[in-house]
Structure 1
Amino acid sequence: MNRMKRWLGNLGVLLALIAGLAAWIVLPWYGVAIVVAVLAAWLLLTQRGRQTLAVTGIGISSLPQRWGASMVIIVGIAGVVGVLVAMLAMGEGFKATLNRTGGDDSAIMLRGGSQSETNSVITREQVPLIANLAGIAKGRDGRPLVSAEASQVINMVTKADGTDANAQMRGVDQAGWELRPKIKLVEGRRFNPGMRELVVGKGAQRQYVGLEVGKQIELANQQWTIVGAFESGDSHDSELWADVETLASTYQRTSYQSVTAKLDGKDGFKQLKAAMAADPRLKLDVQTTRSYYGKQSEGLTKVIAILGTVVGTIMAIGAVFGALNTMYAAVAGRAREIATMRALGFRGLPVVIAVMLETMLLALLGGALGAAVAWLLFNGYSVSTLGSNFSQVMFQFRVSPELIWNGMKWALGIGLVGGLFPALRAARLPVTEALRAA
């Protein structure tokens, strides 16, 4: 009967633990702050709370004597948090780079159903029709601010390991520069129309061989001269820009891949979308450039998030077992001490929470260590990955406060699981049996 009661009790604890972890995952920062405030008030204002503080103080004071075992928890949790934060920082950096590309004041048009510029075709006859649509702003010369652009994937050699990689070559005209005010020329000059000249992004310069200003590279059996370099702080940093007509003639293009336009005021996008839908000759999709580039990051970000969560979970299971072993050993080593406190009138609840607080403190130290290592090693670290246009996009890892917060929540969740069962064992330990065993 006692065995059945204990089994049911453990099952209830397990179910409560699962429910608690589920609530912990979705708990916002202010929710955590409320929980901490309530716990602090209970510890300071109630008798059992003060008993808990006394037991916790004794446990923490003994940490130097078992520092080696405690480091198992700290290092294990630090590894989980470090790997998780680093992996998610890669997706966060890629997403941030693409989100900085474009804005709500410009729109991009692609062939209906196209997900990217690579598989889009816009005929030359359609460009004048687009330019005359409502919702498009006009420049100082009174002409619509519209840029019909060509996109070409080219083969480049990487500086990192000398392997081949895809780079994006974009053909633009003067309006293409005006539509992207973030782009700043930092070296050399712009290309001249009709000339085989290139202006390259600083990200592409850092990644590929032979893109220094003044050098020549061979593309499509033709010599192209690098005449300038630009910075934009977004995905355009990874591109090579050329005159759109020169690119089209070199690669025998008779159409464009996209058309980008400046929107006329807050209602410009609605007007443009309605005007395009009303013209049966324009079977095109239109969206703001912010929306377009934001969608390009969704797939990779989701994959990285899922992969990071899976890897983090596997590592977290190992860290939980490490914490369980360590805390069970700590409880066994302090059996006489705990039994003496129980004999003096300390109840089971203060003992449970004291052991839990000790484990959570070690988890907090491990989480902080892992987050700090991830931030020091990976924040701002530059890498590249294959984007939606089948070309490399340069971006930087971004260890944001939100990621660090999520990592700390993982750490404390591991501490919760790893400390709960040893804490219950300490509270259930019979006083006479513990004193006899000691």
Structure 2
Amino acid sequence: MSTLLSQSAAVIKMNIQSLPRRLWMSLAMVFASAVVVAILLAFLAMSKGFEATMESAGSDNVAFFIRTGSAAELNSSAGRDQVNLIENSPGIKRDEQGPMVSPELYVIVDGIKKSTQQEANLPLRGLDQRGVNMRKGFTLVAGRMFNPGTDELIVGAGVVSQFDGFELGQEIRFGKNTWKVVGVFSTGGNVFESELWADAKVIQNLYNRGSSYQSVRAVMESPDSLGAINEYLKSEPRLTHEAQAESSYFAEQGKSLSYMAIFGWVISSIMALGALAGALNTMYTSVSDRAMEIATLRAIGFSSFSAFIGTMAEAMTLAVVGSLVGSLAAFIFFDGLSTSTLGGSFTQVVFSFSLTPELFTKGISMALVIGFISGFFPAWRAARVPVIVAFQSGR
């Protein structure tokens, strides 16, 4: 056993040292693996970043009410009388001002993307100070809070970074209405930073919404209160709403871009087939180039297994180098890259690409699969070619 291991180690060392003789073909294999890994990680980082942006907005202790059957709050509605009924629900926390409930509006307005100079949908949310206080991590990074009853609004930091004309002090026209940006806020990088916030009653008046809202948020006494709240909703015939934890709602919304991960795997798999063809050619050439060396080692007592292991090690080494190059490229060009895309409510969500150790592992695994397959068959050939044939092919 020790002899077999020492022979394999010697062949591996010899194969790695001979790589400069096949420099360009080896680099081609490294490059192909790197491209596959980089493309895969780019798509996975996009999907992961969007999902994290959505999920981090939700709280387990906040109940989110929308009309039963609505996929998003844009499709929901709640009248003032229904909001009053929700406020009487058991399990909702109360303070000196009464039930901690925030009825909110969700209106779509236009913004101009900095990257394309094209119009895109942005959410204008109507709420009050109680609703603002329910957003975990909320901080004003510039300016001040809007004054109730005025045409003032505050803008998420994500909107400022990705869209034109929303800087502090700017006046913005939506239809016939002109708004003034009096503040810029952050909520820790989650989906709320993709929104514009203004006083709910002003938006009701300007958009002819009467006394209606679209969604309701409520701070619960505890996460376990959700069951009692839903029982109350079922027992009250005037309510056509369902409640879920805010964290659950946003987790489901975050899955709307999961197709990007699937698309990334499909594209990378197709590219991997091309990379595999090139890698097989590289490894077969490597075996042919070292035919004399393989024959000599076999003649002096080295086993066919050592020739197999040496060729496999060469292929896996090139694949690992390719995966590291691809991972580094993905990290440099994509990690933290900020962009925006259409979310579940047909409005833009600003998010950042997020590369995690889990994703790097997936990228490296893809490269190792390419390395294993591309090395196995040439290694099998190296192990089984008769010594005399190997000498003849080396002449």
| Equivalent position amino acid for 1:156 in 2 | G
Structure-1-length-normalised TM-score: 0.88
Among 209, 212, 220, the residue aligned to 2:175: 220
Aligned to 1:37: none
Identify which of 155, 175, 184 aligns with 2:130: 175
Match of 1:61 in 2: 17
- Greater CA deviation, 88-97 or 200-209? 200-209
User: How far apart in 2 are the matches of 1:64 and 1:76?
Assistant: 18
- More off after superposition, 399-408 vs 280-289: 280-289
Could you tell me which runs of 5 or more consecutive residues in structure 1 were left unpaired when the two chains were aligned: 1-44
Structure-to-structure mapping, 1:88-103, within 5 angstroms: 88-103=44-59
- What's the counterpart of residue 191 of structure 1? 146
TM-score by length of 2: 0.97
Tell whether 2:230 aligns with 1:296.
no
Q: Which residue of the partner structure matches residue 333 of structure 2?
A: 377
Residue 142 of structure 1 deviates from its aligned partner by: 4.5
The DSSP-based 3-state class of the residue aligned with 2:222 is coil
Identity across aligned pairs (percent)? Answer: 42
* 1:3 aligned partner: none
* Amino acid in structure 1 at the alignment position of 2:123: Q
Q: Who is 1:12 aligned against? A: none
More displaced stretch, 370-379 vs 64-73: 64-73
Counterpart residue identity of residue 279, structure 1: E
SS at 1:82 equivalent: helix
> SS state of the match for residue 256, structure 1?
coil
Q: Counterpart in 1 of 2:234?
A: 277
C-alpha distance in 1, partners of 2:50/2:30? Answer: 30
Q: Is the 8 A contact 1:198 1:227 kept in 2?
A: yes
Q: Is the 8 A contact 1:78 1:370 kept in 2?
A: yes
Is the 8 Å Cα contact of residues 40 and 363 (structure 2) preserved in structure 1?
Answer: yes
Distance 1:185 1:305 in 2: 34
1:332-347 paired onto structure 2 within 5 Å: 332-347=288-303
Q: 2:266 aligned with 1:286, yes or no?
A: no
> What aligned pairs does 1:1-400 form with structure 2 within 5 A after superposition?
46-139=2-95, 141-232=96-187, 233-254=189-210, 255-301=212-258, 303-400=259-356
Q: Conserved in 1, the CA contact under 8 Å of 2:256 and 2:344?
A: no
State how far apart, in whole Å, the 2-side matches of 1:274 and 1:350 are. Answer: 70
RMSD: 1.1
Is it true that 1:406 corresponds to 2:344 in the alignment? no
Deviation at 1:270, TM superposition (A): 2.2
Q: Any conservation in 2 of the 1:77–1:363 contact (CA below 8 Å)?
A: yes
Q: SS at the partner of 1:125?
A: helix
Distance in structure 1 (CA, Å) of the matches to 2:116 and 2:17: 52
Partner of 1:427: 383
Q: Distance in 1 between matches of 2:237 and 2:3?
A: 78
Residue type of the partner of 2:337?
Y
Alpha-carbon distance in structure 1 between the residues aligned to 2:246 and 2:320: 42
CA deviation map 1:187-216 (0-9, x unaligned): 111111111111111111122222122221
SS in structure 2 opposite 1:191? coil
What CA distance in whole angstroms lies between the structure 2 residues aligned with 1:248 and 1:391? 20
AA matched with 1:164: E
Q: Which amino acid aligns with 1:179?
A: M
SS of aligned partner of 2:269: helix
CA contact (8 A) 2:256 2:343 kept: no
Could you tell me which runs of 5 or more consecutive residues in structure 2 were left unpaired when the two chains were aligned. Answer: none
